Amino acid sequence: MTVSSVFVTGTDTGVGKTWISQGLMRCLASSGKSVVGMKPVASGCLRTDQGLRNDDALLLQQAATISVAYELINPYSFEPAIAPEAAADLAGVTIDPRHIFDCYEELNSIADSVVVEGVGGWRVPLAGDYDVAMMARQLALPVVLVVNIRLGCINHARLTAESIRGSGMHLLGWVANHLNPAETNSYVVGMIDRALAAPCIGVVPLLPSSHLVSDYLVFP
């Protein structure tokens, strides 16, 4: 089965999901597909003349092969850099799963591939019982897990993989992402690879530019 669209999650916030998402987008584009990215929910957005904008969502917009409206890429944007459900409460907004799905469907109708980046980790709450795991299940996409290689990452990776599978989702593969040059431990990567029972689709070193990430990824 050829995979065209994926949902990218991480073991935590700040593990490099956006860089890996951009890398996956460029891998898909190199195979001749039209590609767009999506960041359905984002907090920590900046006020601009065009409205609230999120740095990660803007990077996904730049990596796309076709031009789409920012509001489709990031339908829910919040200014406070706090948990998205709390940010939504402060803004007087309820995150609506149907709106996220409608935006995804519109992107899916105009591009061959959509790379959807989650917010934070796998079980981050968004609106009541609705969380990142439920969003991924709603979109019915295979999951790519990003693991920041650091102390404690083996436990985090195993717990997240178990939760992904427990949510009824297919763990397509995982990426070892090195954000700290002092944490380049191939033994740890091997331990995670054996524990997850899912293919490692990339071991990404600390890089000066996200444009280089695709060189270290093998899209399934």
Q: Which residues are catalytic?
A: 39
Phi and psi based region of residue 128 (left: phi greater than 0; alpha: psi -120 to 50; beta: remaining): left
Rg (CA), the chain: 16
Instruction: Report whether 139 contacts 98 (CB < 8 A).
Output: no
The closest alpha carbon to 115, from 215, 40, 16, 51, belongs to 40
Sign of the torsion angle spanned by Cα atoms 140, 102, 124, 48? positive
Across-strand partners of 115?
Answer: 6, 37
Contact by Cβ (8 Å): 21, 42? no
